[in-house]
Amino acid sequence: MLNVPAQAFPASGSQQRAAAGGRSKVPLKPGRSLMDWIRLSKSGKDLTGLKGRLIEVTEQELAKHSKKDDCWICIRGLVYNVTPYMEYHPGGDDELMRAAGTDGTDLFDQVHRWVNYESMLKECLVGRMALKPLAATTETCCALPEEKKLLNGMLPKNKVLDTSSKDLTPSYDWFQTDYLVTVVIYTKQKGMNSEMVIVDYQDGRLRIDSILRDYSYLLHIELSYAVQEDIAVHVAEKVGKVEIVLKKKDNIAWSKLGQPLSSHNSFIKCTERGLYYRKCKLISKTEVTHDTKLFCLMLPQSTHLQVPVGHHIYLKQIIAGTEIVKPYTPVSFSLKSDFKEPSHHDRTHLILMIKIYPNGLFTPELDHLQIGDYISVSNSEGSFKKLQVQTLEDLFLLAAGTGFTPMVKLLNYVLTNVCSLRTVKLMFFNKTEDDILWRNQLEQLALKDKRFEVQFILSEPKKEGTGKQGKISSSLLSEFVKRSKKDSKVLICVCGPAPFTEQGIQFLQDLGYSKEEVHSFTA
């Protein structure tokens, strides 16, 4: 099978197509896996040709290094000589060449800004881009010292990124009683909910990230005094007001909230904000199938993080001295058709259903974690919006292997919350019957809820006659994704290996479904 390890550059175009924001890989030569790259980069070889010297690179100099055997790329102001990495790049050398001799930051961010290129390409660092003369810089606001940007919790006007006529820039304030300190964020956005606010408090530092459509409003403060771990988050949905309630440890009157830390009071595109990680404790590990396990992670008590339906988080581990990051989609503990409010457990734990690949880079290490060990977990990301299912009548789910994971929360959500729903059908593709995840639960759910139906399709069945055989195809889909009535509102969700997803999207397009009617889950 073809899986997607962390790669330092987006794949698309020539060698293999990328599925709607996802990535495909090209077959790499033997001895050219990510692990081999890590080994080479730790071998002490001079990979830049500069014997460890770092230089200032002008645009003209960068442009000179645009060939396969001499390729430099700039990412966020740092220049890397990626020539030795070419053969190890899972997206192929053509993909790297798309940014040869130029600033590849945008290209890189388009697909997987989460890949830790600083760590992966550390030994390829040539230096930084030479600064342009001041007159040429565009955003003067960024040149201001941090304290000059702060105006009692208001952002200066030139930091406003939303260009619509109405000023949608958030602001904040705070107040206190004898026992509590409350931070209030005026997001000015209707329909805010607690999934859009991520709070972390650690070592006296408070970090509040409010997600407002594609933007992130961050408060990042070293608090004047320590507070207790249990932090409450209240959201007034209609007016978009968020309150973070902190419990004082001593009833001292605070003269100020604290000192601003990096990026405090900034309002920027989510894609421009680096991923933030906190350490979560492994609470349990239970078998789902012969190679797939449920990992239950406990969030720190002082973290508020609720992963929305269809969104994923990133796990980070140091493997052979290199930071490796991979995405995973949290599931619920089980499938339910009466899933009301997230329970306290749902809000304090993350459940991940993860397949362990014996030859994989990341999952064998993950499998070695012991109960009580910690792992770094990022904020969540994803393009799926609950709005897509609000007035839905037919929902079709096409899942392959662990591509089932985003369907779990989605199933629980729609079966409970979407009143207009008439049918939910899951077509679940697996190699063998032993690979089917939660088969029993799926069959139980189909018995319990008449709206739900499941079909299993096996590509390598061990026994004859144990269900449908084959892979995703136009003929399988044309029968399966029929609307329950003419013009019914339909959504088809696809998730699995990149070629599966690509083919699924193509077949659905050929069957006449519009782009809005098809959603693929990708990183």
Residues at the interface with ligand NAD (CB under 6 A) = 1, 3-4, 312, 329, 355, 400-403, 405-406, 429-431, 435, 459, 471-472, 495-497, 499-500, 503, 521-523
Q: Which does 363 bind (CB under 5 to 8 A by kind): ligand FAD, ligand NAD, none?
A: ligand FAD
Among 186, 254, 276, 357, binds ligand FAD (CB under 6 A): 357
Minimum distance between the CB of residue 24 and ligand NAD, rounded to whole angstroms? Answer: 10
Separation of alpha carbons 460 and 300, rounded Å: 42
Residue 27 binding partner per list ligand FAD, ligand NAD, none, with a CB distance cut-off of 5 to 8 Å that depends on partner kind? ligand FAD
Contacted by 10, from ligand NAD, ligand FAD, none: CB < 5 to 8 Å by type: none
Residue 414 or 472: the one with the smaller Cβ distance to ligand NAD is 472
| DSSP-derived secondary structure for 120-135 | HTGGGEEEEEPPPPGG
Alpha carbons within 13 A on the beta-carbon side of 302: 17
| Stretch in the footprint of ligand FAD (CB under 6 A) among 149-157, 185-193, 321-329, 464-472 | 321-329
Q: Is 405 in the site for ligand FAD (CB under 6 A)?
A: yes
Q: Residue 171 or residue 522: which is nearer to ligand FAD going by CB?
A: 522
Smallest gap from residue 325 Cβ to ligand FAD (A) = 9
SS3 at position 77 = coil
Least Å from the CB of residue 394 to ligand FAD: 25
Please tell me whether residue 362 adopts helix, strand or coil conformation: coil
Q: Measured in whole angstroms, how far is the alpha carbon of residue 283 from the centre of its chain?
A: 22
Residue closer to ligand NAD, measured from CB, 216 or 501: 501
Q: Does 328 bind ligand FAD (CB under 6 A)?
A: yes
SS3 441: helix
Answer for which of 10, 84, 90, 496 binds ligand FAD (CB under 6 A) is 90
For residues 465 and 370, is the Cβ–Cβ distance under 8 A? Answer: no
Nearer residue to ligand NAD within complex by CB, 312 or 349? 312
Helices (H), 227-377: 344-348, 363-367
Residue with smaller CB distance to ligand FAD, 240 or 310: 310
Least distance CB 32 / ligand FAD (angstroms):
8
Q: Say whether residue 317 binds ligand FAD (CB under 6 A).
A: no
In sequence order, what DSSP letters do the residues of 381-431 get, joined into one string?
B----GGGGTT-SEEEEEEEGGGGHHHHHHHHHHHHH-TT--EEEEEEEES
362 binds ligand FAD (CB under 6 A): yes
CB proximity list for 122: less than 8 A, separation 6 or greater: 41
Task: Select 273 or 326, whichever has its Cβ closest to ligand FAD.
Answer: 326
Sheet with 78-81, edge to edge strand ranges: 55-57, 125-129, 78-81, 70-75, 66-67
Tell me the site size for ligand FAD, rule CB under 6 A: 28
Shortest gap between Cβ of 384 and ligand NAD (angstroms)? 9
Q: Is 2 in the site for ligand FAD (CB under 6 A)?
A: yes
Q: Long-range CB contacts (< 8 A, 24+ apart) of 504-507?
A: 504/398, 504/472, 504/477, 505/19, 505/20, 507/472, 507/473, 507/474, 507/477
Cβ at position 494, least distance to ligand NAD in Å: 9
Sign for the pseudo-dihedral over CA of 38, 43, 44, 50: negative
The answer to whether 377 contacts ligand FAD (rule: CB under 6 A) is no
**Residue 130 binds ligand FAD (CB under 6 A):** no
